[in-house]
Chains A and B, each alone.
Chain A
Amino acid sequence: MIVFEKPKALADVPFHYCPGCTHGIIHRLVAEAIDELGVEGKTIGIAPVGCSVLAYNYFACDMIEASHGRAPAVATGVKRALPESVVFTYQGDGDLASIGLCETVSTAARGENITVIFINNAIYGMTGGQMAPTSLIGQVTQTSPYGRDPASQGYPIKVCELLATLDAPAYLERVTVNNVKNVRIAKRAIKKAFQNQVEGKGFSLVEVLSTCPTNWGMTPQKALEWIDEAMIPEYPLGVYRDKEA
């Protein structure tokens, strides 16, 4: 009996991501949630700009490519036009927390009934490792070669904490995928974010702490450990909003 295989909601296309990049794990968790809820036929995904720009090639459901940062606005339109559909966005930190912060906050404030999967790896991956709004204090990147200095570059934006100040969001949780246990927790969170939408509960966002071995300059395994050592202390895991709890 098969106990683990590639989910049906992922197309038979190899990922272009760097070796050890956890985008692949998170794509799989989203697809598993779609499979388990049996909603592939009515799911519409919105792809971002960033490393995951090609997400529209990987998910077997309908996909739309949004302009940079505008995925929640596009998702709003799709969901309002087709209320029976299941709409999700898949966005990195450059897309959601930088250029698209306005759309993110506004969509959350309106409590649109969509699911947002937010990938936070504290760096711009696709463009070659520049500082992101989510980069850690002291983190060395292409554009912060002496480490991020709050005096000139400010502090990291914590999206879950930020959105938790709004009244409308139904569900906000921060998870990671740096070991087997955390992948299972992340899967439960992502599935819940989709389930909430099916049940009409409103805006659900799951922030996933992810790795960028290439631009962090680490081996894939060391990058997973760096999430424990550096990212989780700055971005604590946990549920920031759960309206039904």
Chain B
Amino acid sequence: MARLTFKEELCKGCGLCVAACPKHILELSNTHLNQKGYAPVKLMKPEECIGCAACATMCPDCVITVER
């Protein structure tokens, strides 16, 4: 199973990963902000992640580590 880990404090909430995800399972948080004041990305359905790394490929801030 694929696993994503997020360095949440680096996230600027740009949403490029959300748009790149082919499974549409990433969202920007609507419940909390990180220290920088941005709404960070979160994985909504971890069990559906296929570990394709499209999100990490488009992330400008190296927030996402992908394991498979």
A residues near B, CB below 8 A?
1-6, 10, 14-15, 17-25, 28, 179-180, 183-184, 213, 219-221, 224
Q: Size class of B's contact patch?
A: 20 to 34
| A25 CB → nearest B CB, Å | 5
> Which residues of the other chain, A, contact B46 by a CB distance below 8 angstroms?
none
**Contact of B33 with A by CB under 8 A:** no
B residues near A, CB below 8 A?
9-10, 12-16, 19-20, 38, 51, 53-54, 56-62, 64-68
Please judge, given known A-B contacts A19-B12, A20-B15, A179-B20, whether A2 and B61 are in contact too, CB under 8 Å.
Answer: no
Which chain A residue has the least Cβ–Cβ distance from B13? A19
Instruction: Assess the B57–A184 pair: CB atoms within 8 A.
Output: yes
Pairs A-B, 9 closest by C-beta atoms: A24-B60, A20-B14, A19-B12, A4-B66, A19-B14, A6-B62, A4-B53, A220-B14, A4-B56
| A91 CB → nearest B CB, Å | 18
Instruction: Assess the B65–A5 pair: CB atoms within 8 A.
Output: yes
Instruction: Assess the A20–B57 pair: CB atoms within 8 A.
Output: no
- Complex-state Cα separation, A14 to B10, whole angstroms: 6
18 contacts between A and B (CB under 8 A): A2-B65, A3-B51, A3-B66, A3-B67, A5-B65, A15-B61, A17-B60, A17-B61, A19-B13, A19-B14, A19-B38, A20-B12, A20-B16, A24-B61, A25-B57, A220-B15, A220-B16, A224-B19
